[in-house]
Structure 1
Amino acid sequence: MLSSEVDVARAWAESGGSWLTGERTGSPSAAGAGAAGVAEHLLRDVAGLVGEVPGLPTVAVLGERAALAGLQRDGARSCGGASRIVPTADGHLVLTLARSDDLALVPALVESPCLSGDPWLDVAAWALRSTSREAAARLHLLGLPGGAVGGAVGGSPVRVRDGGARVARERPRVLDLSSLWAGPLCAHVLGLAGADVVKVESTTRYDGARRGHAAFYDLLHAGHRSVVLDFADPADRDRLQRLAASADVVVEASRPHALARLGLDADALVTAGVTWVSITAHGRGEPQRVGFGDDVAATAGLVGPGPVFVADAVADPLTGLAAAAAALRSLRGPRAQLLDVSMAGVAAWAAAVPVPDGPPCPASRPSARRPSGTAPGPGADTGAVLHDWLGELR
């Protein structure tokens, strides 16, 4: 349910989301307005928890990446270009080919060598020979991000399980193990609310967003501290585990078994008093499938007529706000919590919000806040954080 004070049509027009939805040569679309309604609702929730904090996002958060990177609407091709919606024999399929490993799997997906020189042509021809259900099953078998448009069961946006008693700090510690957009946006909001945010990356795999638009990375990470650890080194894995145990909130967006290999046990930490924010495509209890903001939104039914994509990777900022609101609420309570945040659940919530009748409000172009500074380079604060949080000598 949304607050009755939320004007969905106005919020959608002001968010930049309307401008980013529709065909490239067409007009901005009112389709997907529920995304702005949910964003406005969550932002009011955050403001009610932290008060008037300088720099907090507005509903324009839905278009900030597009504004900084110069992205635009492109119908059945995502604003960022890595995701597409293609027809199947009985519906539509969404697929993201954002990583080199995904592109390498296209011949296995279409069960044929790719001879056209354009993997998307091969995908489109294969999809037309398949039902949406068959195509989605093959994507899932190969571990590719995507699925049948509207075929996902959204579930609850945030599932909460109480844990052990937490010890309140004047300045909460937040350990950010996430990457890209949703998790870092959650950590960004917590940082604006006064938390000491520490981002941890592997020596062999930095956050992929570092390779994106620098101003967008600065927007989400300025004011945080950066730690880089060698996850193959037992001593650094021990440091990672102790950092997590000494945090008030851990934010992550990884598969549970990947974290378990690093010795991170969410259940044990929550029992010990650490709030754990777990962001996954479809929820921790569901089959673990990788998902990105555009394809998760489309599988949850958050699409415009055509179908076309809604805004830019819209499930990411919506999920980041939902995770932040839940984490802030947890920090005000007496017990730690496991917060199971489902991107598909949040997107399905937005998809279920009715699009207002009547003429659409004039659509604003996407806009972005100015970064408060420059994000630290990888590992710039490793020694200081190990000293401050763990007592190790610099």
Structure 2
Amino acid sequence: MAGARLDAVLTDWAADLRAGRIGAAGRAGGTEPGWAASGAMALTGQPDGPPLGLTVPFVARLDAALTVLRTLAADLGSPFPPAGAVPSSAGPLLGERAAALGLTRGGIRSAGRAARLVRAADGWLAVNLARPDDVDLLPAWLEAEVEPTAADRADDVRPVAERTAPPTTARPWTNLAALVATRQAAPLLERAELLGLAVSLAVDPAAAAADDQAKARGQRFPFAPFLVDGLPPEAAAGTAARQPVRRDGGFTVVDLSSLWAGPLCAHLLGLAGGQVVKVEGAGRLDGAREGPRDFYDLLHAGHASVTVELRTPAGRAALVRLIEQADVVLEASRPRAFEALGIHPAAMIARNPTLTWVSITGYGRTGPWRQRPAFGDDAAVAAGGVAVDAAGGPVFLGDAIADPVTGVLAAAGALASVAAGGGHHLDVALREAVGSLLADRPTLPDHDPAASGPVRVAPPRLRAPRGRAAAAGQDNARLMPGPLTGAGPSNAVATGQP
């Protein structure tokens, strides 16, 4: 059973977003001041060229979502902390990981250097080799051996999750690019999907919103920022005066996500009064724990931490018990991951009608691309979320920009559901989150503006953490009482039936 219709403060914002009514004011020298101040502009452009602006008010539109969060948090009895804990603009959130890692703009190389824009015979592909095993899949993908050159080895930078892992094969970008250049994009995309490689096609934003995946999800240009029970949020508008359900005692968030998008959402919900419990698999902790400590602490300080052995029936049953007590569940796995655990969002909402379930995926939980892997850089490219340099070629936007954008938008949607009494499933796709900010940019321009005149391009910067993040499993005894043995999930959960 669906929950109450969502608060007008969210649905009005969503309608204004898609209509392009947010951030209509002029931009200094063609550059949005919020973009220049965000740290993301400093990360956008060729490494030997100027940082690039955008032809849309990207940050102003994200700021409007942050305003939704602030408004709803105050209505729920938990106003956001004073300035400093959360910036007045959402823009600086876009550059915080880069500040922690010391990243710089790379043009066709992502700021984190795990992805590249590679020209195929009929278009540009974003190829992301973020995971240790991705390089091993390249011979199967390209049907040829792909060896790294000396230049590749010298230039190789490992993603955060691999920093403490044994050395792996360098990414063979030189020979990969040579092979891709001779192939058509469509079969390369099909083979990448079969192999589980994160590869996307750079397209105009309007074209992205007209492909088979968008049509299957009922999307159009510009994308809705997320779907609520299968519909765009403006379709769930409230009809009565705003009477949010006050939560002076707070609400509980079970955070099953990792890395950046989901944890940023959980962090913002925590600032809005949520009591966050981070859940990690006992044998597979969040890879971000191996990255910069300040960044991990920033997103997780003040959250409880439990670990669960998901490979056993007892561990899965313990997770179900935890979910049953939650107001919000946040997860960022491809649909088949929870299907394999026998846990279905619809069944859990039926058992707990006040539950809000937030799913973050690359392309959405429905449609023909529902199982495609994606990361922040390649998902943005798939939405048409690229900048265009002076030569007319695409370059990456910021650092994995779909991740922080998704974190902010998912938090706004989740809090609106909490305010409405819960009972909603939010389906948040990285691609659609970025695409929702691109109204008035249906096609990519010949080039994007470089900073000029009085515009100052700020470097990425990181807020000070509010404390230390809990050690993995620190709160197991308090939050997971009793032995973790016994039967697995009930048939109601395993079959998805109430």
Specify the alignment match of 2:9 in structure 1. Answer: none
Question: 1:208 deviation in Å?
Answer: 1.1
Which residue of structure 2 lines up, in the alignment, with residue 67 of structure 1? 99
Alpha-carbon distance in structure 2 between the residues aligned to 1:189 and 1:90: 41
Distance 1:345 1:5 in 2: 19
Q: Which is worse superposed, 357-366 or 64-73?
A: 357-366
**Which deviates further from its counterpart, 280-289 or 310-319?**
280-289
How far the C-alpha of 1:41 sits from its partner, in A, is: 1.9
1:303 matched residue in structure 2: 386
Name the structure 1 match of 2:110: 78
Residue of 123, 126, 141 corresponding to 1:94: 126
Q: What corresponds to 2:266 in structure 1?
A: 187
Deviation for aligned residue 1:27: 1.0
1:358–1:265 Cα change, 3 Å: closer
1:357-379 residue CA offsets vs partner (Å, 9 max, x unmatched): 89653211111211001111111
Supply the distance in 2 between the matched residues of 1:107 and 1:374 (Cα, whole angstroms): 43
Choose which of 318, 331, 336 in structure 2 pairs with 1:239: 318
Which residue of 2 is the match for residue 31 of structure 1? 54
Alignment CA distance shift 1:320-1:28 (3 Å): same
Counterpart code for 2:119: P
> CA 1:32 to 1:189, structure 2 compared with 1: closer, same or farther past 3 Å?
farther
Tell me the alpha carbon deviations over residues 317-352 of structure 1, each in whole angstroms, 9 at most, x when there is no partner. 000111000000001003410001111111112233
Greater Cα offset, 342-351 or 242-251: 342-351
* Structure-2 residue corresponding to 1:267: 346
Instruction: Write out per-residue CA displacement over residues 27-72 of structure 1, whole angstroms, 9 at most, x where no aligned residue.
Output: 1110375432332121122112123412224320011111111111
- The question of whether the paired residues in 2 share the 8 Å contact of 1:223 and 1:375 is answered with yes
Structure 2 residue identity aligned to 1:267: A
**1:31–1:310: 8 Å Cα contact kept in structure 2?**
no
CA–CA separation in structure 2 for the residues paired with 1:172 and 1:27 = 45
Letter in 2 for 1:383: A
Q: 1:353 & 1:5 partners in 2: Cα distance?
A: 11
- State whether residues 45 and 105 of structure 2, in contact with CA within 8 Å, keep that contact through their aligned partners in structure 1: yes
* Residues 200 and 228 in structure 1, CA contact (< 8 A), matched pair in contact too: yes
Q: Which of 241, 256, 260 pairs up with 2:335?
A: 256
Q: Which residue identity does 1:317 align to in structure 2?
A: P
Once residues 255 and 378 of structure 2 are traced to their aligned partners in structure 1, the CA distance between those partners, rounded to angstroms, is 24
Alpha-carbon RMSD: 2.4
* 1:56 aligned residue (80, 86, 89): 86
CA distance in 2, matches of 1:22, 1:345: 23
Which is higher, the Rg of structure 1 or of structure 2?
2
Query: How far 1:180 moved relative to its partner?
Result: 0.8
Aligned residue type for 2:396 = F
Q: Deviations over 1:74-131 (max 9, x none)?
A: 1000000101001111110101001112111011111112244452122201210112
Distance 1:186 1:6, change over 3 A: farther
Q: Indicate the residue corresponding to 1:10 in structure 2.
A: 33
What's 1:160 paired with?
228
Contact 1:157 1:344 in 2 (8 A): no
Structure 1: tracts of 5 or more residues without a match: none
The alignment status of 1:142 with 2:203, answered yes or no, reads no
* Change over 3 Å in CA distance of 1:169–1:234 after alignment to 2: farther
CA–CA distance in structure 1, aligned partners of residues 45 and 425 of structure 2: 37
Matched-pair identity in %? 42
Question: After superposition, what is the alpha-carbon deviation per residue over 1:199-242, rounded to whole angstroms, capped at 9, x for unaligned?
Answer: 11111111111111111111100100110111122222111011
Q: Does residue 1:121 correspond to 2:178, yes or no? A: no
Q: Which amino acid aligns with 2:86?
A: L
Paired letter, 1:102: D
Q: 1:339 to 1:266 in 2, by over 3 A?
A: same
Structure 2: distance between partners of 1:148 and 1:358: 25
User: 1:65 and 1:250 mapped to 2: Cα distance?
Assistant: 24
Distance 1:167 1:230, change over 3 A: farther
CA distance in 1, matches of 2:46, 2:342: 47
1:158 shift after superposition: 0.9
CA contact (8 A) 2:259 2:287 kept: yes
CA distance, structure 2, for counterparts of residue 167 and residue 141 of structure 1: 47
With the length of structure 1 as denominator, give the TM-score of the two structures: 0.92
Question: In 1, distance between residues paired with 2:190 and 2:142?
Answer: 13
Paired residue for 2:140?
108
Residue number in structure 2 paired with 1:219: 298
Q: Distance in 2 between matches of 1:160 and 1:363?
A: 36
Query: Normalized against structure 2, the TM-score is what?
Result: 0.73
| Partner residue in 2 for 1:276 | 357
- 2:358 touches 2:414 (CA, 8 Å); kept in 1? yes
| Cross-structure match for 1:386 | 480
Structure 2 CA distance for partners of 1:169 and 1:244, relative to 1, 3 Å: farther
2:373 maps to which of 282, 290, 295: 290
Does 2:278 align with 1:199? yes
Tell whether the 8 Å contact from 1:32 to 1:310 is kept in structure 2 after alignment: no
Tell me which residue corresponds to 2:167.
Answer: none
Distance 1:370 1:353 in 2: 36
- Aligned with 2:423: secondary structure? strand
Query: Structure 1 residues 94, 129: CA separation in 2 closer, same or farther (over 3 Å shift)?
Result: same
Separation (CA, whole Å) in 2 of partners of 1:342 and 1:101: 24
C-alpha distance 160-115 of structure 1, shift in aligned 2 (>3 A): closer
Q: Secondary structure at the match of 2:42?
A: coil
Displacement of 1:20 after TM fit?
A: 0.8
Secondary structure (helix, strand or coil) at the match of 2:314 reads: helix
Q: Do the aligned partners of 1:302 and 1:350 also contact (CA within 8 Å) in 2?
A: no
CA contact 1:31–1:303 (8 Å) conserved in 2: no
